[in-house]
Structure 1
């Protein structure tokens, strides 16, 4: 348990973000890949993931990694309960709901609020697609815990955000990103979320904006790729596409090249991909070619992607899920990420 909790704490330091619903599966790309072979690489990645699901519906002993794998299937357009891959998503949802405690938490075996945010976001996406009463009930309970955790007394600098534990008294941008996106997605599904909660979270994210561009882990810190992608997406998904913090974030990313295998590589490519896709135009074109080149060059023969520094405990289920979530943005199946 300690090892698993430490894994998520190490990863949390630079990261964040993500999203909502899909409708029905159509096997086509809505947007051109920059490199040939992307569609095939994506399918090979799913071939690997399909073999990893266990009898209880999980893809990994950590519920957050199972949540990421299930979200990857949603991002490719596989609807819960529809077809073999939709059934895989359905089984993963049942497993995650079975881990929810009476107080609404889905803290799993390590990861605490970080894992709770990921699983809550997955529930919101699934609720928007399937209108399943059990999923909606679990989502409401999960959101209640998120709101209670946000309301814990914090200093002015940390007000509005979240941290590792439900009763933490400070906040960081990575844990905050998952909770904020889960609340936004839940609100779109009809769950009553106070507007003040969203506004307060946005305020914390903006306080994490670094002076020279990009976003820091906590107010006053230095920027990094994953933190910057997280901050940008958090604001974009709350409607602040043209916020100066977002523009400066894109400029920071373009002036700081990111190479294969850097620490927390998959978190960084995931968040930066979502952010630059929302920016569109030259920003997206610049990033898309780099992303696809890196991932196609390093995919394993079995369709998985290798783990990199700081992310090993999640295994290749984690690295493959994150790579697929980044590559699948072009398919437009998650409406919250549509321009």
Structure 2
């Protein structure tokens, strides 16, 4: 069964990578500048975008199936392969040369993320059942996060900050994963009658906003940065909520293990930051923006100097 789970997890990583790359190409090919809600409608009718969505859905189903056959320790670290695959696919599509900074970032994300997940599995108690108060706390925190991200998005949209969208989507999906798990646990133990519909509503709202953030991230950054952010931030948020809010810390969770988790998480986050600064596509966009700004500045200087020359000629 374990080898079947590994095969399913590998297939899931491939589907997630292909789906991310496909959707990214669709978004960048049909939008100029920041993605707007009006620009989302043509994407919904785009066959390539829909194909990417189908691949992402298939990848999610395969990952769930893998988790049902093996432990998180075996399955979850395999997901970082999606980052490597996406980086290679995107570099080939854009004819980019992957630099050392990008490879270093991929290594940091992979090692840090995998170590964090392994430490989390060792330190958490899978048999712990959170109470109603804990779930309500998660819902309240998610409501505040949705409002905060929604307000910030209105101000950040024109600046095309890819890290904002990547981190925002990762935070939202981390909350969604926790609420989905809590809802599934409730259905398994008590049936549909005890479902907390506020949790279901926030799952839908956060998932929709997270999907929007991902599409915006496609329009202003490389797809491998999106995958890196989601594979790093999403599980970290879920584990942090489980330990701090839901009380899932087990007997093996010690100060040393917590320190190891913190260091691993820091390494992974540094990897995401390095990728956002040294990815070859990011460097190209930065150089193009500087060239455009220099051209605008030169034009402004030339326009300012022209009237002076005209006045001197008139005086003569």
Q: Same fold (TM over 0.5)?
A: no
- Tell me the TM-score normalised to structure 2 length: 0.27
TM-score (norm 1): 0.26
Larger Rg: 2
| Higher helix proportion | 2
